[in-house]
Structure 1
Amino acid sequence: MSLLAIGINHNTASVEVREKVSFTPETMSEALKAVLDLPGIHESVILSTCNRSEIYCYTDDQLKASEQVVHWLSELHHLDPKELRESIYVHADEQAVSHISQVASGLDSMVLGEPQILGQLKSAYAVAQEHHAVGSMLNYMFQHSFKVAKKVRTETAIGENAVSVAFAAVSLATRIFSDLADCRALLVGAGETIDLVARHLREKGLTQLTVANRTLARAETLAKEFNARACLLSDIPAELPNADIVISSTASQLPLIGKGMVERALKRRKHKPVFMVDIAVPRDIESEVADLQDVFLYTVDDLRSVIEDNRRTREKAAVAAQSIIAEQTENFIHNIQARTASDAIKVIRNRANAIKDAELEKATRALAAGQNPEDVAKQLAHNITNKLMHGPTVALRNAHQQGEEDASEWALRLFDIDT
């Protein structure tokens, strides 16, 4: 049995590839079922964010399972398997446990130490639980990762001066505009990332905010919190001419803002520059918009330079965090091995007790029939010894015939015999 972590992230794949391999909340139930239907896979959790798509599994055969998952992903998302394999990473057992702990702690994020990924990991786990895709092994691994993340944040400075992709986007805006207080911002979406963007913009002095969302009620809820205006996605064409800053992060599978829409907005703005950041994967803003003069368009991949500045301040904390993860991963593996040994011990003891009970019943009947007690006792001891030793003896002979030269050494250690 093996634990597997299979996926792509911002380090191994471009945004063009990541957006093709992403999963929406609406398709998660079907995706989890499809993974569990693959031969030999017993448990699964799927994590899908703008920077990564990962499938965690508990399987009989790690090599076969990883090949099946990659093939399934390529078919599901209509990708060339060879192209996908160039971006895929596969971690098994101890490496899988270490990887998920790094993900949960924010050490594998584009923004080192960012806290949102832990919430996203917990949500992915909860969804898998809801669809009965999680058993004891993945439950144990995910709970372990949550505890490790808490330990890392408590005992290191990895979470100090918290930054995020949202913070990086706003930091980049301050490089384009000297004073955000004079700017107007259009925020597309109403999720956690846009919430963070709005907070950071407020902190930088921007007061003229408009929130556009698929549902007006959600947009109004977020807008009320920041004393902003709310509108529907369909109102974006009318709002764009007034926006100096456009930051978008939705779960839409198709672009919401096209080149033609932006061209019309620029004409009404008399070509006054617009700063646009597309945080979404798949992208909300057509890539061709970047070709327009007077538009500064950035994707999540373009935020790397801003993020790198923040990363340097956390590198020392990351070293300490890695030490914690290594220690906790070792403890996890030892606990798994101990639990496996306990299960084996339980089976062995149950078998020994079954032999004992069966032979004791025979002896009791022999005594009731008037047989000599001494003879009955000798026969009882003889039968129990023979039956207990028959299986191990046959197994030891077979092991040596198959070339397992250290089998005798293990057998002597198992029976605590010092030669």
Structure 2
Amino acid sequence: MTILALGVNHKTASVEVREKVAFAADKLELALQSLTQLGHVSESVIVSTCNRTELYCHLEQADLEPVVQWLADFHQVPAAELQQYLYQLADTEAVDHLMAVASGLDSLVLGEPQILGQVKQAYQQAKEAGTVGTIFERLFQSTFAIAKDVRTHTEVGQNAVSVAFAAVNLAKHIFSSLKDATVLLVGAGETAELAARHLSEQGVKRMLIANRTRARGEALAQLVGGEAHSLSDLQYLLPQADIVISSTASPLPIIGKGLVESAVKKRRHQPMLLIDLAVPRDVEEQVGDLDDVFLYTVDDLQSIVSANRKQRENEAEAARAMIASQAEAFNAWMRSLNSVDLLKRYRETHQQLAEQALQRALQGLNSGKDPQDLLIELTNRLSNTLMHTPTRAIQEAGRRGDLTALAAYQKLIKE
């Protein structure tokens, strides 16, 4: 038996390659069932996100090539082309990798929490497709348990490690709540989109988006429930904004001291927070000299981000030690399934039961009890003792609807 983890992620492949092997949600059940029809794949789970596509397989024999070929064929990508981007991990390494992924230690942003939900969803979809059995049930439950422990007992997911997230956290510290705030995003690129998503999660009351290209601004506004405007509207938008986050690619500042000074007057000197994430700067340096204006640049936030990233990396070391312990516990359970060891323990247990029953009968003979009564008692006692554990196991499998276990028990009875 082999547990295999095979896939591509943000470390090994570009987004163009990752897109080629991504699984659409409506094709996932078909893919899972097709994978387990390979013959030697008895269980499978597919994790497919924007940053990774990973196949987790329980193999009856350690032959990985058919799985690689299946992935290539399913997505109509030449196997030779795909092979250079793939990583393949088996058994202990595969288990450790899955637990690290679910705990956020293998993510593009160290410690990000969304991946655990994505792994849980992948597991649930595989269960519904009927491709999760005893081994993967144990593996994924162990994985979810350690991911929860990592979140609870380390700070690997705490503190901002992107300037966009740091900007939103800064705004939260200055404005105790963002639910009543109006935010103006200047620019609609990747950084602005990330900031917009974080702001939306905080329940911002109103989000204004000013961008040079109106179509891109409207697309972002639709994504986060904001209002799209042109950069030429800045003089009308600034007085409405409590918080301004700017991240354009302009070679020159687009928000000058005079523009902000005019906005502050129209706001009757209500405080404004301006966060300039652009390089070169979007906001003139002199804006920071104005009363009632708080100006922060990307350099101010980078120092926060660097310190937070270092702290996360330190916490990740503790998390990896926790994962190693949980992985070893699972691997020990897997080793316990070895047929030779299982048979040895089975024989020892039942020999011990038989010896106990025999000693009880001999004591009865020595005390003068009727031999026939003792034989009947010995037979009944031994029969009930030997049947107790299997009976409980069959009943429990029936309650769970565990057809795999019931089929195994049925095979034992037939033989």
- What interval of TM-score do these two structures reach, taking the shorter chain for normalisation? 0.5 to 0.7
- 1:232-255 residue CA offsets vs partner (Å, 9 max, x unmatched): xxxxxx973764956969xxxxxx
Q: How does 1:78-93 map to 2 (within 5 A)?
A: 78-93=76-91
- 1:169-189 residue CA offsets vs partner (Å, 9 max, x unmatched): 979xxxxxxx9933379899x
Partner of 1:108: 106
Letter in 2 for 1:343: L
Partner of 2:256: none
CA contact (8 A) 1:48 1:54 kept: yes
1:343 aligns with 2:342: yes
CA contact (8 A) 2:188 2:248 kept: no
- 322 and 67 in structure 1: CA distance in 2 versus 1, 3 angstrom threshold: same
Partner SS for 1:79? coil
Structure 2 unmatched runs, 5+: 170-180, 234-245, 250-303, 356-415
Q: Percent identity?
A: 39
Letter in 2 for 1:96: A
Q: How does 1:11-410 map to 2 (within 5 A)?
A: 11-62=11-62, 64=63, 66-161=64-159, 167=165, 181-183=183-185, 197-200=196-199, 207-208=206-207, 240=215, 243=218, 311-340=309-338, 343-345=342-344, 348=347
Letter in 1 for 2:215: L
Distance in 2 (alpha carbons) for counterparts of 1:7 and 1:197:
31
CA contact (8 A) 1:187 1:247 kept: no
- 90 and 267 in structure 1: CA distance in 2 versus 1, 3 angstrom threshold: same
Partner of 1:258: none
- 241 and 117 in structure 1: CA distance in 2 versus 1, 3 angstrom threshold: closer
CA contact (8 A) 2:3 2:94 kept: yes
Distance in 1 (alpha carbons) for counterparts of 2:199 and 2:40:
47
- 199 and 24 in structure 1: CA distance in 2 versus 1, 3 angstrom threshold: same
CA contact (8 A) 1:185 1:243 kept: no
Distance in 2 (alpha carbons) for counterparts of 1:243 and 1:314:
35
Distance in 2 (alpha carbons) for counterparts of 1:338 and 1:241:
57
1:2 aligns with 2:2: yes
Distance in 2 (alpha carbons) for counterparts of 1:325 and 1:202:
30
CA contact (8 A) 1:70 1:81 kept: yes
Cα offset, 1:163, TM superposition: 5.8
CA contact (8 A) 1:186 1:239 kept: no
Distance in 2 (alpha carbons) for counterparts of 1:12 and 1:69:
18
Cα offset, 1:131, TM superposition: 0.9
CA contact (8 A) 2:47 2:53 kept: yes
CA contact (8 A) 1:100 1:145 kept: yes
- 1:181-215 residue CA offsets vs partner (Å, 9 max, x unmatched): 33379899xxxxx99954435759782269xxxxx
Q: So what's the TM-score if we normalise by structure 1?
A: 0.54
CA contact (8 A) 2:160 2:166 kept: no
Partner of 2:260: none
Distance in 1 (alpha carbons) for counterparts of 2:140 and 2:52:
17
Q: Number of paired residues?
A: 272
- 84 and 153 in structure 1: CA distance in 2 versus 1, 3 angstrom threshold: same
- 1:300-340 residue CA offsets vs partner (Å, 9 max, x unmatched): xxxxxx98875333010011111111122122211222243
- 167 and 154 in structure 1: CA distance in 2 versus 1, 3 angstrom threshold: same
Partner SS for 2:71? helix
CA contact (8 A) 1:111 1:310 kept: no
CA contact (8 A) 1:185 1:208 kept: no
Distance in 2 (alpha carbons) for counterparts of 1:14 and 1:3:
26
Partner of 1:288: none
